[in-house]
């Protein structure tokens, strides 16, 4: 995939993942980074389960990236949860 395709896929997946986990976006830059990391994590998870990972700019790859983003966000929030006073 081209660099621009990774950015577009990352933005979409990060935004959707953020909306699913905490009902709001994290900001455009964080959403892009989250989505790219999520695409990587999702690809690893799907490959470990015997399915195909991210294969291009298509709906299946978006699904894989969103699943990875959600998993990544859940782990991130579990590890770095802000303490309320």
Has residue 67 got a pLDDT over 50?
yes
Number of domains into which the chain is organized: 1
Domain containing residue 53: 3-79
Q: What is the pLDDT of residues 16-51, one digit of tens each?
A: 888 888 776 666 777 777 777 887 888 888 889 888
Indicate whether 36 belongs to any domain: yes
Indicate whether 8 belongs to any domain: yes
Indicate whether 85 belongs to any domain: no
Indicate whether 51 belongs to any domain: yes
Residue 52: which residues within 8 A CB-CB, separation 6 or more?
46, 60
Give me the pLDDT at residue 23, please: 72
């Amino acid at each position: 995939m081209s660099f621009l395709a990774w950015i577009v896929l990352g933005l979409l997946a990060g935004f959707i993942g953020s909306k699913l986990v905490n009902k709001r976006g994290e900001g455009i830059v964080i959403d892009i980074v989250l989505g790219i990391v999520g695409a990587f994590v999702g690809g690893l998870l799907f490959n470990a389960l015997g399915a195909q990972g991210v294969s291009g700019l298509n709906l299946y790859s978006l699904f894989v990236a969103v699943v990875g983003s959600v998993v990544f966000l859940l782990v991130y929030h579990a590890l770095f949860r802000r303490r309320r006073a």
